[in-house]
Amino acid sequence: MLKNKRIIVTGGKGFLGKHLLKKFTDYGCRNIDVADLPEFNLTNIDDIRRMYEEKKPDIVIHLAAKVGGIGFNQEKPAELFYDNLIMGSQLMHEACLRNIEKFVALGTICAYPKFTPVPFKEEDIWKGYPEETNAPYGLAKKMMLVQSQAYRQQYGFNSIFLLPVNLYGPGDNFDPRSSHVIPALIKKCFDALDKKEASIEVWGTGAATREFFYVEDAAEAIFLAMEKYNKSDPVNIGAGFEISIKELAELIVNLSGFKGTIIWDKTKPDGQPRRMLDTSKASKEFGFQAKTDLITGLTKTINWFRKNRYSTK
């Protein structure tokens, strides 16, 4: 059934988008297209309407987002709130007006309350305020869940809301101004190797824990949800484990071949104390389970960066 559907992926030129497009192609989908900058500015309602009129999709996968690490969230909270809120709200509203068959919205683990019990369960998502350093971004994305449920209730609109944990993998964003922790640490190690430096500096204490989700597994989860899941209840997608930032940094240092020391800048924030998802609903509802363990995923990511780093920011 999906092979002949017209599928649009917003943000399809990005990190996750490229892997998702490959997944669709591997499954035999024939009519896949991308809505992304510079052709479409998805914060602009006229561009959104033009996208729908020109592409005439049956299914929309909304991946496009303005996103970054703790520093980027602290620097640009207003932009992160407005751009993500307006993109999601207008895209879903215009999709509903056009009777699009299905809208798949990607949220974020940053939508969860700061002190959510671990592992995070979907029913806990409204039990507190998000961690302050990324609350504007997390709340903006969370509004798509409210919209999805409201539009299904009033209009019968088929939209779903997925909550991915931190992604990583080949092709990630390695720009130090906006990258997340894994690509940032990998780049720090290789920069130190190039400059023959004896240490790297990492923000925080290293005590915070995170879960990391290999991008190819994330693409598989999104595909299965698109194919099989048709409810507006949120669903976590992730790998179902946690590791401290300290352990992660030591692992990346070892795998990258850097022999120096790690200096922790404890004046900088740790962010949310712990993050790990309960992924049992994804398994139950659409049969997804992550396949890539962290060492395998990190090794593939580091090898990719080693080959491509001179063409990567």
> Buried b / exposed e across 77-91, counting CB within 10 Å, b at 16+?
beebbebbbbbbebb
Asked whether 276 and 211 are in contact (CB, 8 A), the reply is yes
Neighbours of 162 (CB within 10 A): 22
| DSSP code for 135 | H
**CA 156, CA 162: separation in Å to the nearest integer?**
19
- Residue 290 in contact with residue 236, Cβ under 8 Å? no
Q: Is the dihedral of CA 72, 9, 110, 191 positive or negative?
A: negative
Q: Which residue has the tokens 């059934």?
A: 1
Question: At which residue do the structure tokens 């080949």 appear?
Answer: 170
Distances (CA, A) of 50 to 31, 46, 47, 207: 18, 6, 5, 47
Distance of alpha carbon 12 from its chain centroid, rounded?
Answer: 13
What token pair was written down for 210? 């995170």
Annotated active-site residue in 52, 137, 151, 214: 137
Nearest C-alpha neighbor of 171 from the set 7, 34, 12, 10? 12
Is 137 one of the annotated active-site residues of the chain?
yes
DSSP, res 127:
S
Catalytic center residues:
137
